[in-house]
Structure 1
Amino acid sequence: TPDRYVEIGGAKLNELSYQLARSYCVPCQGVYVAEPSGMFRLDGPDHGWIIGSIDNRPTPTLDTFIQVMQSIPDRERVPVVYHSIADFHTTSVAVVQVERHWSRFRLAVRNDTTGLWDFTDLGAPLPPKAIQPATARFIQLDASVGPAKDLIRSLVKVSYYMPCRIDGFPKSRKQGAGLVLDHARGLIVVSRSIVPFSMGDLSITFADTIIVPGKIEYLHPSHNFAFVRYDPALVGETDVASAPLSEEMLLQGHRVTLVAFNHNQRPVCLTTVVTDITSVTIPQNSTPRFRSVNLDAITLDTPLAQQCSSGVLADEYGRVQGLWLSYLGERNMSGHDNEYHLGLHIHTALPVLSALQRGEDPGLRSLNVELMPVQMAQAVAMGLGQEWVHRVEEANSAKHQLFLIRRTETGSESAKMLEELDLILAVNGKTITRMYEMDVQYEAEELEMTILRKKEELTLKVPTSPVSGDGTSRVVMWAGAALQEPHKAVLQQSKTLPSRIYVSARSKGSPAYMYGMVPTQWITHINGTPTSDLDTFVDAVRQCPDNTYVRVKTISFDNIPMVLSVKNNLHYWSFVFVWVRASAVYRWPTIDMVKDATTECGWRRNEVVKGRRGTVRNYIRTRDFSTLILLLVRSNSAPLPPS
């Protein structure tokens, strides 16, 4: 049985055990990936990999593995040669990016006297190498594709690694295509099924050759796209082109050219027809996660479109009319996450693009409601008069419909005025028959809305609320559970808000996992002390000694109260991430992580003496009574920093 293992990049590795070697009749040697995760989540089955070499250097033992990893700079991309313990005939290779900034590199040794595993820090990572500008050439599509063939120079591959599962997102890695909209400013639009939140490492590949880091600029709160940015200087003289945009709206029956990537990340180009543009409701998941709402979806007359997760829709002149995106839906009974491939009008992204080009925050506002279409026969049965039927027919000759409020967002300003099942007739005097006509909400502080409620026509002054494009910016890790403020998907699906502490995820084997803390719960009390937000929660758990049971009062997503006894185990589960107040005083050694745009990660690590006050939005790592607290906030000038 191994008495040592190494933690690095979110994975755990040890020397191959005698028991496994005996079971598979293989030599008892080599570094075995005991927990494949993070940088060592290799291609193929989840378990059973033996590492042969890293960066072309053999790793026959754990000590050699440690020496090799200590010599490789952070964020370096290196080849890893490995094989399965069940098949020594086949050798595989994968190129991985060294991850030393989100997780620690440490050695665990079993202590047979205490029964614990003693941890030894294996040193700070070597700083990343400076990225040098490089030049490459995009592939050339056949002339038969037409003018749209030049769009291949505007399509890039976006890869995103997420070290912590928050916001209910089920994956740790995603990859797909992004569209360059402004090469001079380095702006790319990409699906939110690829970039769901802002905590992670973003890589952008140009011409299948040049890989540069990216930074998340804006996450649209309701539509399925995000804007990311890269440094144009890093791609040298590469023939990257800003995609030309069309001002013409796509309509049913229009011919378009689909330029997209299939599941093998190979380009697919074909001319097809728009079969329909209809308001679609993406099914919600039982565990809330981002879901695009109020969507006018474009569908195409070709089955090949469903094999392509991301790309663009272009007109006969090669101008982009729409984005072809993958929409994350619900998890089915077999545990598979359904994805829907649909088109989105490019004009939906233009308000955000224009603001980012001006160097401004988009500053969008929203009613924070989810709408669904209603056919006229149903609307008449709900009490709609003939006068409004005629208005709808005049406003939209192609599709006679109105929109019903399916959900209001908990805690929003509009929820005080609007109710679910209200039928929207007009906004600011304009009859609403198309989903995009509701875009007027993005710039208005107040809307005059005419609605039909219980067969009564009402005119209301409805306020809008500012919406942020930053996504989640605070995460607290305690007892192996990831806690955060309720994200937008939670507010959309829940009618109540018991507290501002929401359980987003948990780690297997942790106290949270063992004692029944599950995602979608709210925490309201710690040992009888009310905890309404993350600040009060951290203050409460800091008073709980090690190896004692903590009474955690929770409320389930269905409003069922429950009290859990969670045993503190600060030796193995000792990290807490919070946003520190300026007046906080710490009486134990700390490490202060300060935002600094001049550093590679956008953060600077400083030692802090005992008793020094914390700084607003800084990281502070503290240790007292075996407690380790790490403060984490998102930078507006760089990707989220390392922990």
Structure 2
Amino acid sequence: MQQVQGQQSTSQTVVNGCFSSKGGDIDLEASNSTADSDSSCAGGLMVASSNASFPERLMEPSLVLVEVNVPPSCLLDGVDSQQSFGTGVILHHARGMGLVAVDKNTVKVSASDIVLSFAAFPIEIPGQVVFLHPVYNYALVCYDPSALGTVGLSKVRAAEVLPEPALCRGDPVHLVVLTRNLRAKSRKSKVTNSFVSLSLGYEVDILVGTDVRDGNGTTRVINWCGSLVQDPYPAVRALGFLPKGGGAYVTRWHRGSPADRYGLRARRWIVEVNGKPTPDLDAFVNVTKELGSEEFVRVKTISLDGRPSVLTLKQDLHYWPTWEVRFDPDSALWRRSTIKALHYSNP
């Protein structure tokens, strides 16, 4: 939240790209006539256009366009698209490190290639996901400010975030975002509480379990017979059903793979392989790595609504070897390793 004292008699507040006013009505668009309307260009990029509103000019140096590309082998947690774009807000900007906050609808998983484009300076630099909040809908991406150069380092600035005054329901705000051509756009809105429509005044007794979460998100995925298998992620666990004894969750499958050919689809748990239980990924790996190529395998699965089913598929380790991708917290890198594949020897 950034406090701004302008020519008006009231204080104005910016919250992560949202602008609000307290203490009276202000015509923000009218402030264009009193503010400096000169536009500054760097390499042909318009940084602040003359017809931009006050919230847009205020937030533009702190906004970043975040481009996300997820490798096909890392489409975890039900991610439905390999590419996404969104607006991020710079929270920290110094020579040592830069930090950007962005919504998790843009950065869904940590196994992503990030490119940051700054509204205040025409340059693209790589970023790295360092935190995914397990409850709230935001992620943190870091970058190297030295890649901006001396000029870019001076033009880009961090938004000042303050805890007070807290926004309340009904407060007017201006939502500020970046377009794909790095132009700031805003619209007026009001703060609402998403839970108001659900608050009907009834008292309900529920049994709530505990869950261990961190900021890394999913850190391991296994490709077996063309299906991506992982631990169930929070959105799945929030549905309230987990198989008794656990299981390995299928989050995706590849076209043309044995999983596709024999009907091993996503959104179900693998609880047994050839009659052997697979309560977690380690047990699943231990069972499947003993299977040979071209061997028929009996797989028991349970769907999201608790319906069990049994299918048989045939392994093909030549075209579809078993491998895993795992996050290394020490190096902050994702590493791929082969669990089982066909090995040919020269005659």
TM class by shorter chain equals 0.7 to 0.9
Task: Work out whether 1:496 is the aligned partner of 2:242.
Answer: yes
Cα offset, 1:262, TM superposition: 4.4
Q: Which residue, 174, 198, 202 being the options, matches 1:257?
A: 174
Rate the CA distance shift 1:228–1:257 in 2: closer, same or farther, 3 A. Answer: same
Aligned pair partner of 2:200 in 363, 369, 375? 375
Matched, 1:154 2:26: no
**Correspondence for 1:244:** 160
Deviation at 1:273, TM superposition (A): 4.7
The answer on whether the counterparts of 1:142 and 1:149 sit within 8 Å (CA) in structure 2 is: no
CA contact (8 A) 2:227 2:259 kept: yes
Provide the residue aligned with 2:39 in structure 1.
none
Q: How many residues align?
A: 292
SS in structure 1 at match of 2:88:
strand
Alignment match, 2:323:
576
Within 2, Cα distance between the matches of 1:595 and 1:245? Answer: 29
Q: CA deviation at 1:231?
A: 0.8
Q: Gapped runs of 5+ residues in structure 2?
A: 1-41
Tell me which residue corresponds to 2:16: none
**CA–CA distance in structure 2, aligned partners of residues 229 and 479 of structure 1:** 35
Which residue does 1:468 correspond to in 2? 214
Which residue of structure 1 lines up, in the alignment, with residue 233 of structure 2?
487
- The residue that corresponds to 1:88 in the other structure is none
Instruction: Describe the shift of the 1:161–1:236 C-alpha distance in structure 2 as closer, same or farther (beyond 3 A).
Output: same
* Cα shift readout 1:96-140 (whole Å, capped 9, x = no counterpart): xxxxxxxxxxxxxxxxxxxxxxxxxxxxxxxxxxxxxxx977611
Other-structure match for 2:100: 188
**Contact 2:117–2:123 (8 Å) recurs in 1:** yes
Give 1:174's aligned residue. 84
CA–CA distance in structure 1, aligned partners of residues 68 and 174 of structure 2: 28
Bigger RCO of structures 1 and 2 (CA < 8 A, at least 6 apart)? 2
Q: Percent identity?
A: 33
State how far apart, in whole Å, the 2-side matches of 1:594 and 1:473 are. Answer: 8
Q: Give me the whole-angstrom Cα distance separating, in 1, the residues matched to 2:146 and 2:224.
A: 41
Say if 1:176 and 1:265, in contact at 8 Å, map to a contact too.
Answer: no
Evaluate the alpha carbon distance shift between residue 595 and residue 222 of structure 1 in structure 2; reply closer, same or farther with a 3 A threshold.
Answer: closer
Distance apart, 1:528 and its partner CA: 1.3
Shift of 1:574: 0.8
Distance 1:524 1:563 in 2: 10
Distance 1:219 1:560 in 2: 32
Q: How does 1:412-427 map to 2 (within 5 A)?
A: 412-413=209-210
Equivalent-residue separation in structure 2 for 1:621 and 1:466 (angstroms): 29
Instruction: Please list the CA deviations of residues 169-227 of structure 1 after superposition, one character each: whole Å capped at 9, or x if unmatched.
Output: 11110011110011123110001011011112111112463111111111111221111
TM-score by length of 2: 0.75
Matched-pair contact (CA < 8 Å) for 1:534–1:578: no
Equivalences for 1:251-400 in 2 at 5 Å? 251-262=168-179, 266-270=183-187, 272-274=188-190, 276-280=191-195, 373-376=198-201, 379=202
Name the amino acid aligned to 2:184.
P
Q: 1:559 to 1:595 in 2, by over 3 A?
A: closer
Q: Does the 8 A contact of 2:296 with 2:312 survive in 1? A: yes
Q: Over aligned residue pairs, what C-alpha RMSD do you find?
A: 3.0
For the residues of structure 2 that align with 1:172 and 1:228, how far apart are their CA atoms? 18
The 3-state SS of whatever aligns with 1:279 is: coil
Q: 1:142 aligns with which of 26, 50, 53?
A: 50
Q: CA deviation at 1:466?
A: 4.6
Structure 1 unaligned spans of 5+: 1-134, 281-295, 297-371, 383-403, 414-464, 580-592, 604-617, 628-643
Work out whether residues 594 and 619 of structure 1, in 8 Å CA contact, stay in contact via their aligned partners in 2.
no
AA at the equivalent of 2:266? P
- Structure 1 counterpart of 2:157, one-letter code: A
- Relative to 1, partners in 2 of residues 1:619 and 1:147: Cα closer, same or farther, differing over 3 Å? closer
Deviation at 1:265, TM superposition (A): 5.6
Whether the 8 Å contact between 1:218 and 1:226 is mirrored in structure 2 is yes
Q: How do residues 185-224 of structure 1 correspond to structure 2 at under 5 angstroms?
A: 185-207=97-119, 209-224=122-137
Partner of 1:453: none
Are the aligned partners of 1:253 and 1:273 in contact in 2 as well (CA < 8 Å)? no
Deviations 1:299-338 (A, max 9, x none): xxxxxxxxxxxxxxxxxxxxxxxxxxxxxxxxxxxxxxxx
Q: Structure 1: which amino acid aligns with 2:304?
A: F
Structure 1 equivalent of residue 338 of structure 2: 621
Letter of the aligned partner of 1:485 in structure 2?
D
User: What is the alpha-carbon distance in structure 2 between the residues aligned to residue 594 and residue 241 of structure 1?
Assistant: 32
Call closer, same or farther: CA 1:261–1:407 in 2, change over 3 Å.
Answer: farther
Equivalent residue letter for 1:191: D
Partner secondary structure for residue 193 of structure 2: strand
- 1:147 and 1:551, CA in 2 relative to 1: closer, same or farther beyond 3 A? closer
2:224 aligned with 1:478: yes
- Counterpart amino acid of 1:241? R
Give the SS at the match of 1:227: strand
Shift of 1:252: 4.5
1:562 lines up with 2:279 in the alignment: no
Q: Secondary structure in 2 aligned to 1:475? A: strand
Q: Show CA shifts across 1:373-427 (max 9, x none).
A: 4234xx3xx5xxxxxxxxxxxxxxxxxxxxx67895xxx33xxxxxxxxxxxxxx
Instruction: Write the letter of the residue equivalent to 2:107.
Output: V
Q: Which amino acid aligns with 1:491?
A: R
- Determine if contact 1:138/1:153 at 8 Å carries over to the other structure: no
Work out whether residues 62 and 156 of structure 2, in 8 Å CA contact, stay in contact via their aligned partners in 1: yes
Question: Are residues 405 and 279 of structure 1, via their aligned partners in 2, closer, same or farther at CA, if it must alter by over 3 Å?
Answer: farther
Residue 322 of structure 2 aligns to a residue in which SS?
coil
C-alpha displacement of 1:255:
3.6
Bigger Cα Rg: 1
Query: Using the alignment, how far apart are the partners of 1:176 and 1:159 within structure 2?
Result: 7
Q: Please say if 1:547 is aligned against 2:294.
A: yes
- The CA distance in 2 between the partners of 1:258 and 1:373, in whole Å, is 25
Residue 144 of structure 1 deviates from its aligned partner by 6.2
Query: 1:550 touches 1:567 (CA, 8 Å); kept in 2?
Result: yes
1:484-518 Cα shifts (integer Å, max 9, x gaps): 00111111013233423000000011100111111
Q: Give, as a single letter, the amino acid of the residue that structure 2 aligns with 1:183.
A: H
1:576 offset after TM fit, Å?
A: 1.7
- Aligned partner of 2:216: which letter? D
Q: How does 1:578-593 map to 2 (within 5 A)?
A: none
Alpha-carbon distance, 1:244 to partner: 2.4
CA distance in structure 1 between the aligned counterparts of 2:88 and 2:82, rounded to whole angstroms: 19
The 1:407/1:215 distance shift into structure 2, 3 A limit, reads farther
Matched letter for residue 476 of structure 1: I
Deviation of 1:467 after TM superposition, in Å, equals 2.4
What SS is found at the alignment partner of 1:245? coil
C-alpha contact 1:484 1:504 (8 A) present in aligned 2: yes
Structure 1 CA distance, aligned partners of 2:57 and 2:113? 30
